[in-house]
Structure 1
Amino acid sequence: MEFSQSEENEEVTLSKFESMLKTNSVFFFDSNEFENIIHHYLESGKIALAKKAIKLGLSQHPASLNLKLFQVEILIFENKLNEADRLLSPLFEIEPNNEELYIQKANIFSKKDQHEKAIQVFKEAIEIAEDSADLYSLIGMEYLFLDQYQEAKQNFKKCIELDLEDYSALYNIIYCFDFLDETTEAIEYLNSYLDKNPYSEVAWHQLGKQYVETKQLVKAVTAFDFAIISDDTFIGAYLEKAKVLEKLNRFEEAIENYKITIAIEDSTAYALIKIGYCYERLNHGDLALQHYYQAVEEDPALDKGWMRITKFFMAKKDYQKALFHINKAIDIDGDNAAYWLLYSTINERLSLLEEAERGYKRTLELGDCELSTWLSRGDILIKLGEYEAAKFNFVQALEYHPKSEELEFRLSGVCLKLNNMDAGYAHLLTGLHINLEHVFILEELFPEVYQRKAVLQLIENFKNTHQ
């Protein structure tokens, strides 16, 4: 159902149709005009208007097969699958060799998660279709739904055999190779494809990514170069090439490629950050910082930009400037766990323990429940003498990290400090069972607890029994 009218005729027809809806007048349109109107509304996502056009079209052309097919398509979209099936079945008697009927029938099976039946119907459609490339693609998608990646790959390959420029199928083939961990096979296939289509920037780009996967970095650079030769405005190829050049420590060349992407696409914050990082690796601190600032000016919400600036000053041990910038980042996005974690680290290095603890607590609230975050917060609470809060923190942490001797030994120390003897000894024994060698944690954090006669005796008895 191709949309065949010229743009000018299309606008006139649409204007006339919409005028009819507004005035409740009745104008006549031939079936082709209705098809074009419906197609336009479907492409625009205006389903309600498409449905009105189908209803009016069928009232004027009740025998139109294409209008009925549009009606079936809408019903499938709305998940009214049984109703769509009832409308579709009698159409096979009218025009049994219409491949669109088979496609819609298969779509109904697919929406019902009956993918094997959908595949069978698509195969029947291939028997009568003049051009089967799209059908092989649809079969490939059904096999993807079934997680049958080998079969999906074979059908997408048939698409390529029929149309070398079908890049959607090519991407799907590579997706299958990736899922199956067949990197070597992917490289062989892409090289074979490039023998037939040597100026395909997409294939060269994908080949380069496969070489990166196999750590063949020099070959990857060459592949990206060929992608750029095929299309010198292909930003993706410049970016991937630049990232590989970074890995090869060829930072000047990486900067050059990142700058090309900016020239093609105007300033992009990501490229500016990467340029800054390369300058930092080249020990050009001023240029690095200049590009980081440009990046956050371009996109203030880009967390990597603020992180780079903050870490730049941390590396120079200029913690006050680092704190200034991470505070600016938090003002922009107070729900970014990575910001709060960095905020905590900086405050801890500035010996601002209350602020550091607040930051770790906020980090945990935002979902960063790494063991190191729980430990850092708890250790600060211990330093602050907040033993009950430290105990509660470590108990919460055990829910996420139930077999951590680091938590058990800390809980033992806190409980014994609070004279909760039974719990203290229980946690100590649990920690010893997990990893006896790490009992030094108790000694370092709670030396006075560790030196208690009962504690030393328990540890000694455990060693004698378990060694």
Structure 2
Amino acid sequence: MEFSHDDNNNLPLTKFESMLKTNHVLFFDSEEFENIIHHYLNQGKIALAKKAIKLGLDQHPTSLNLKLFKIEVYIFEDKLVEADTLLNELYLLDPTNEEIYIQKANIFSKKDDHLQAIEVLIKALDLTDDVVDIYSLIGMEYLFIDQYENALIYFMKCLEEDLNDYSALYNIIYCFEFLNQYDEAISYLNVFLDNNPYCEVAWHQLGKQYYAIKDYNKALTAFDFAIISDDTFVGAYLERGKVLEKLKRFEDAIENYTITLQLDEPTSFALLRIGNCYEKLKNNDLALQFYERTVHEDPLLDKGWIAITKFYNKKRDYQKALYYINKAINIDSENVTYWKLYSQINQRLNFYEEAERGFKKTLELGNYELNTWLSRGDLLIKLGEPEAAIYNFEQAIEFYPENPEIEYRLAGLYFRLNETDKGAFHLKNAIKQNEDYSFILEELFPEVSNKILVQKILKP
């Protein structure tokens, strides 16, 4: 049966799915089965792809391509022994089939034998008319083993063969960036643009390289050319906005970010940057308006909640700052930055128990910064919980074993509890590490600093 162009894409698939519902077996030629299987694999519908492969091989048991699809599914399901066995059978039938080599390389790659995969793919190059895909696969294998210089060679070969292979271009820049070779990336992109002056992706990447080395004027020029090449290129306007912020041209930056809102759905990033620019311009009303739009657009974007909280913090409107950070914590209670801000705000409001709770949560989430331990311990001292404070600082000293700030605090706490030997031990350690921090005793433990034994240790 002959189909029109559109039917070739749609009718066999519709017919196949109808057959599955009725259990009435219909005939398809092998190419139709290949298209159906390819469609299901692209859609990630593995179960349907397997049904099509089985029915296809029932009707066309000698089809090499259908067997290759079967191998592809085996590999996807990590049935590498079955895949390898069937591949070896196919190799005996058709040793010059490039797809056999590609799937063989895929098996080696799955086994983390990437060098062997590369060796097989290099053999496949002699058998194919479509070298671009093979070059790309070789490049990816080199990426897996962190051989970025070799990966670069093959991704560059891809681009030499196909100037529109933007995937290869992105991978080339990724390799240069990983190797911190920004100057080399810039040189490569400039040569590429000499031959492809209207490639907006290359101009965009060139701008990002200049941005990385802080040559903001050249970055701006590159993004200008990206926009000239494609005046609907949202990414170029966003990057241009970032450069203009660095140049403190905040009104121009706002204009670029605003264009992105008109070209596409509003992004939380653009809204946040506009809010930040308005804050720099001291236009607090508009800054707040855009910060609120940011958290409304994307409640999971922590930078939005942090920005609006810090905005009120700077204005010393701690109640509002606390309101917003509480909303943020309700959405994501595992965010360390939220809890640190929560603690700092509560401390400014003299809500010491809540502040201590926040620092404790911060530590539980794995943030072991010295300041977190010190802040929590000092709050416990203020709350009259010396034993809890000691436990806090004893934990802290495991992370910061020779820290005078911790030692002075432990000394003061033990002296306060009349555990003189322990107090003396920690005080001597503290003085040995840095005697200039002895003011900690006077500030946190004034009654201890006047003890005769303490004075003796401080001034032998």
TM (norm. structure 1) is 0.93
Which deviations, in whole Å up to 9, do the C-alpha atoms of 1:51-110 show, x marking residues without a partner? 111111112111111111111111111111121111111222322221111111111111
Aligned residue pairs, count:
458
Q: Is 1:350 equivalent to 2:349 in the alignment?
A: yes
Q: CA deviation at 1:342?
A: 1.6
1:210-289 to 2 correspondences below 5 Å: 210-289=209-288
Distance 1:183 1:164 in 2: 21
Partner of 1:408: 407
SS in structure 1 at match of 2:26: coil
Q: Amino acid of the residue matched to residue 304 of structure 1?
A: K
Aligned match of 1:155: 154
Question: Deviations for 1:176-218, whole angstroms, at most 9, x for unmatched residues?
Answer: 1111111111111111111111111111111111111111011
Corresponding residue number in structure 2 for 1:30: 29
The verdict on how the C-alpha distance between 1:5 and 1:414 changes in structure 2, with shifts beyond 3 A counting, is farther
- Relative to structure 1, the CA distance from residue 128 to residue 328 in structure 2 (aligned partners, 3 Å threshold; closer, same or farther) is closer
Offset of 1:38 from its aligned partner? 1.0
Which one-letter code corresponds to 2:226 in the other structure? A
The aligned runs of 1:73-152 (5 Å cut-off) are: 73-152=72-151
Change (3 A) 1:183 1:416: same
Aligned residue in 2 for 1:371: 370
Q: Is the 8 A contact 1:412 1:423 kept in 2?
A: yes
Shifted more, 317-326 versus 389-398: the winner is: 317-326
1:334 and 1:106 mapped to 2: Cα distance?
Answer: 44
AA paired with 1:435?
A: N
Matched to 2:366, the amino acid is G
Query: How many Å apart are 1:441 and its aligned residue?
Result: 2.2
State whether structure 2 residue 309 is matched by structure 1 residue 298. Answer: no
Question: 1:344, 1:357 within 8 Å by CA — same for their partners in 2?
Answer: yes
Letter of the structure 1 residue corresponding to residue 204 of structure 2: H
C-alpha displacement at 1:456, in angstroms?
2.7
Q: Which residue of the partner structure matches residue 334 of structure 1?
A: 333
Give me the whole-angstrom Cα distance separating, in 1, the residues matched to 2:15 and 2:108.
38
The residue type paired with residue 40 of structure 1 is H
Amino acid at match of 1:197: N
- Which deviates the most, 207-216 or 365-374? 365-374
Normalising by structure 2, what TM-score? 0.95
Task: Give the match's secondary structure for 2:316.
Answer: coil
Contact 1:109/1:118 (CA < 8 Å) preserved in 2?
yes
After TM superposition, give the deviation of residue 7 of structure 1 in Å.
Answer: 4.1
| Gap runs ≥5 in structure 1 | 462-467
Range with bigger deviation, 16-25 or 115-124: 16-25
Q: C-alpha distance in 2, partners of 1:419/1:238? A: 66
Q: Which residue of 2 aligns with 1:465?
A: none
Aligned to 1:203: 202
2:400 corresponds to 1:394: no
Flag the 1:430–1:5 CA change in 2: closer, same or farther, 3 A: farther
C-alpha distance 329-104 of structure 1, shift in aligned 2 (>3 A): closer
Provide the identity percentage.
63
Aligned residues of 1:5 and 1:36 also touching (Cα < 8 A): no
Distance 1:149 1:299 in 2: 36
Give the Cα–Cα distance (whole angstroms) in 2 for the partners of residues 117 and 294 of structure 1.
52
1:458 and 2:457 equivalent?
A: yes
**In the alignment, what sits opposite 2:55?**
56
Q: CA deviation at 1:458?
A: 2.4
Question: Aligned partners of 1:175 and 1:121: how far apart in 2?
Answer: 25
The residue type paired with residue 415 of structure 1 is Y
Answer with 175-184 or 15-24: which moved more.
Answer: 15-24
CA change 1:331–1:92 in 2 (3 A) is closer
Deviation of 1:454 after TM superposition, in Å, equals 1.9
3-state SS of paired residue (2:167)? helix
CA drift at 1:453:
2.3
- The alignment partner of 2:126 has SS state of helix
Give the deviation of 1:5 after TM superposition. 8.1
- Matched residue type, 2:404: E
State the secondary structure of the residue aligned to 1:89. helix
Q: Is residue 184 from structure 1 mapped to residue 191 from structure 2 by the alignment?
A: no
Structure 1 residues 246, 377: closer, same or farther in 2, change over 3 A? same
Aligned counterparts of 2:172 and 2:433: Cα–Cα separation in 1: 47
AA at the equivalent of 1:252: E
AA paired with 1:431?
Answer: A
> 1:100-149: CA deviations, max 9, x gaps?
11111111111111111111111111112112111111111111112111
Instruction: Specify whether residues 207 and 444 from structure 1 end up closer, same or farther in structure 2 by C-alpha distance, changes over 3 A only.
Output: same
Matched residue, 2:18: 19
CA RMSD of aligned residues (A): 1.9
Unaligned runs of 5+ residues in structure 2 are none
SS of residue paired to 1:128: coil
Bigger drift between 243-252 and 362-371 goes to: 362-371
Q: Deviations over 1:308-360 (max 9, x none)?
A: 22222221222223223333333443333322222221221122222222222
| Alpha-carbon distance in 2 for matches of 1:325, 1:92 | 64
Q: Please say which of residues 236-245 and 326-335 is displaced more in the overlay.
A: 326-335
